Structure 1
Amino acid sequence: MQIPSAYQDGMVHARRIDPALTETYLRHTMIGDPLADAVMAAFRDVPAPVQRDWMHRGMDGGPMAVADAPAAWRDFLAETERVPDWFDPGFTGPGCRAFHGNSEMLIAAFVGAVLVEGFSTLISKSFSITGRLVDQGVRRLKQNNRHISEIFLPGGLDRHGDGWKMSVRIRLMHARLRVLLATAEEWDTPAWGVPLSSAHIAFATAAFSGGLLDRARKLGVEPTEDERRSFMMIWRYSGHLMGVAPELQAVDEAAAMRLFRLGMAAEPPPDLEAILLANGLINSAPVVAGITDAGQRRKLVRLIYSVSRSMIGDQLADALNYPPARNFGALAALRLRNRADRVLRRHVPAWDRRRRAFQFAQMIDLSFSDGAGNDYRMPAHLHAEKDRPS
């Protein structure tokens, strides 16, 4: 088995967690997404407007609506429309309620821990080379927020729901970026593996599901057993739609955390690109939140750094060049506030309704204000600054 050289040191530590899963993870660092990659190959010489037309019609009407498109696109749609037997649409309710009832803290954990931890890995290379986070960080963060919001809306993962469409769109976008990165001078396949590899997509999904629940728990979020199981099922299905290989799909929270810890152990230490992306992400959060006052932005950034350090640990925070911790009680105060809020909501239904309404409105502001929709335009250039809508 060919193993990218960057993983040679980390795989020793990963094997201590789960030897068999480590072998699977390492093997998938050299695999992309055969089904989606075949679509991009079939679209290679097709004019962009025709590609977008096929995508729009196929995403709305399925394979029967694109009889004039390549077989690879119709096959992709047919396979994507198959619903795995483990997904129960009737059981999405608890997960949706848990997310939208705690979206404030879940998004805080997502930005302050999960995304930071993800960008501390070689995943950062794809975003750094293309500039699709450095140059467009605020927009990308809003799109991430929107994707999460959509999959946790009732019916969002139905065949014609926006959560379903956004998950599949992300998969196609990854496939297109793989094409651009694979031939780029900057990309080092022997060292890093395949761009946006199957391993990294699975790792990210494990982080967004089990990792997010774990980090949010540190903020005082305590979903019920049914809510956690439903939350995990929703993310597993979204990951399935994004192309996560069946052998790397986390069946429950424990499996997701095992893959997450294994991936963090296998990946090399953060390099300069990872440091820039992680810190850029935190500094863009106040902009996404709509805070315009410079002093208030700095205050929020200091708080995010403090809480983030508490969630990800001093070792990773120091490796990412975080500023020294100054507010040692920030996480404890936040956790206490959230637990008090939970008790109040449990005993005062009117307060619970008010908090849910506030968080939902806040989530809309954080996710939808850039006007982005399900646009199926694929990047024409590797670097974001050269890639402007035609």
Structure 2
Amino acid sequence: MTTTSDAVRPPGRLVGFEAARSRHGGRADHMAAMLQEGDPLADAVIAELDVLGVEGRRALSQGLAGGLASLDSPPPAVAALLRRLEAVPGWVDKEMLTEGDRVSLLVPPRWTTLAFAGGSLSHTYSSPGIARLLVHTGQLEKMAPRRLVETAVWKANVILPGGLVCGAPGYVQTAQVRLLHARVRASALRHGWDTARWGVPINQTDVARTWLDFTLVPFGFLAAAGFVLDEEEQRSLYRYWHYVGHLLGLDESFFLPVGDHADAAALLKLVDSTVEPPDDNSRALTAALFDATAAALAKAPGSTLTETGACDLLDALARSHHGDERADALGIPRSPVTDVLPFLAAANAQARRYQTLPEAAAQERAANIRQFRALAGSLPDHTAYQKHATPPSSDQTNTPWRQP
């Protein structure tokens, strides 16, 4: 394990680090060191694509869909990444991959959307180091709705039955997200990113925090809304997402020790204890996200919510999840529907009790799978993570990140 004693100096973004070291010892050192670690395999692919151009992108696409064996003469970096992706670790339950994320598939898509926006992404944005990178990737008003939908499409493909089998949409798109991270990392470094202050862009620690934003954080949000996981469901959730972490290029030392919410909460507490408070970038991202989410919920098929009603509900749930201090720091307003939340939680808790019956759970999963499949194929064109790997031509002025 790398420690701060034999690595570069921890980035200036860390706050309260000595207190974290006194509480967590070597785990804090490891977390700090990983702020300076990217993803060498993915970074090498991006560098290779910049040299090979369209032919390299074509080989990558074919290899992700058909496997390394489908390529006659694969580029070296592409081959190395594919070889790692296709080497399924021994700790992976292949039957589980066939069934999909059975825990997440019990949550109706509308509640998944609320938890994703009000819990996951708003928590991601609360880190100034992450928010700074995201704000400068494009215009918030235009990017927020697209980012919301693209990430929802990716997650839907990830959790669906068979989604992470080699060549399946969730597997391919997770690898593409990993490469998008590498593309943004390369662009930010090329445009003057301050690594001494912020660490490497999209570093291992930030990816670990994001991994928690798809596991612990949304289900912490959902627990307050009546969706409480028992111990076996927690173990199933993390076993499944261990493999997602592997495909994303996250170091195993972050996720393999996490077997339930208690383990995940300990890791999140360590990481968050050294993160600066939300800044203006965090608030701008959160405001754009909540506006986009309210609009999407109001327009969803069968929705009975107005855009104002959806916004009020999201604000109330998010404040309940984050607490008033963090919600104020993120610019989340107080909501007139806060008093209704206990009744919503009671109704969802009753539905969860009904789902302890195998037949009821199967029916709920089947209904949600139909909706997630529709969502997974809802985009009319390619996502950012599908398009990003083609190197920019000389007449392109936009980049994945620009120095403010």
Identify if the C-alpha distance between structure 1 residues 103 and 132 changes in structure 2 by more than 3 Å, giving closer, same or farther: farther
The offset of 1:268, in angstroms, is 1.0
Matching residue's letter, 1:51: G
The offset of 1:297, in angstroms, is 0.7
The offset of 1:93, in angstroms, is 7.0
How far apart, in 1, do the equivalents of 2:25 and 2:204 lie?
18
Could you say which residue in structure 2 is the equivalent of 1:319? Answer: 329
Match among 101, 104, 109 for residue 96 of structure 1: 101
1:235-254 equivalence runs, <5 A: 235-251=241-257, 252-253=259-260, 254=262
The offset of 1:331, in angstroms, is 2.8
159-168 or 371-380: bigger deviation: 371-380
How far apart, in 2, do the equivalents of 1:134 and 1:68 lie?
43
Matching residue's letter, 2:204: S
Contact 1:177 1:379 in 2 (8 A): no
2:291 matched to 1:283?
Answer: yes
How far apart, in 1, do the equivalents of 2:280 and 2:388 lie?
31
Could you say which residue in structure 2 is the equivalent of 1:369? Answer: 378
Identify if the C-alpha distance between structure 1 residues 40 and 223 changes in structure 2 by more than 3 Å, giving closer, same or farther: same
After superposition, what is the alpha-carbon deviation per residue over 1:8-49, rounded to whole angstroms, capped at 9, x for unaligned?
Answer: x232453355222211111111111011111112222222x2
1:288-303 equivalence runs, <5 A: 288-289=296-297, 291=299, 296-303=306-313
After superposition, what is the alpha-carbon deviation per residue over 1:212-235, rounded to whole angstroms, capped at 9, x for unaligned?
Answer: 322221211123433221211111
1:187-336 equivalence runs, <5 A: 187-251=193-257, 252-253=259-260, 254-289=262-297, 291=299, 296-336=306-346
How far apart, in 2, do the equivalents of 1:380 and 1:70 lie?
15
Identify if the C-alpha distance between structure 1 residues 209 and 179 changes in structure 2 by more than 3 Å, giving closer, same or farther: same
1:19-98 equivalence runs, <5 A: 19-47=25-53, 49-92=54-97, 96-98=101-103
Could you say which residue in structure 1 is the equivalent of 2:145? Answer: 138
Could you say which residue in structure 2 is the equivalent of 1:147? Answer: 154
Unpaired segments ≥5 residues, structure 2: 1-7
Aligned length: 383
Match among 339, 348, 352 for residue 342 of structure 1: 352
1:156-195 equivalence runs, <5 A: 156-185=163-192, 187-195=193-201
26-35 or 98-107: bigger deviation: 98-107
TM-score, structure 1 length as denominator? 0.88
What RMSD in Å do the two structures reach over aligned CA positions? Answer: 2.9
Could you say which residue in structure 2 is the equivalent of 1:378? Answer: 389
149-158 or 130-139: bigger deviation: 130-139
Contact 2:153 2:376 in 1 (8 A): yes
How far apart, in 1, do the equivalents of 2:66 and 2:366 lie?
34
Percent of matched pairs sharing the same residue: 26
Contact 1:143 1:367 in 2 (8 A): no
Unpaired segments ≥5 residues, structure 1: none
Contact 2:220 2:321 in 1 (8 A): no
Identify if the C-alpha distance between structure 1 residues 326 and 287 changes in structure 2 by more than 3 Å, giving closer, same or farther: closer
Identify if the C-alpha distance between structure 1 residues 217 and 95 changes in structure 2 by more than 3 Å, giving closer, same or farther: farther
Contact 1:120 1:274 in 2 (8 A): yes
Contact 1:207 1:260 in 2 (8 A): no
How far apart, in 2, do the equivalents of 1:12 and 1:315 lie?
24
The offset of 1:205, in angstroms, is 0.6
The offset of 1:6, in angstroms, is 1.4
How far apart, in 1, do the equivalents of 2:373 and 2:297 lie?
11
250-259 or 199-208: bigger deviation: 250-259
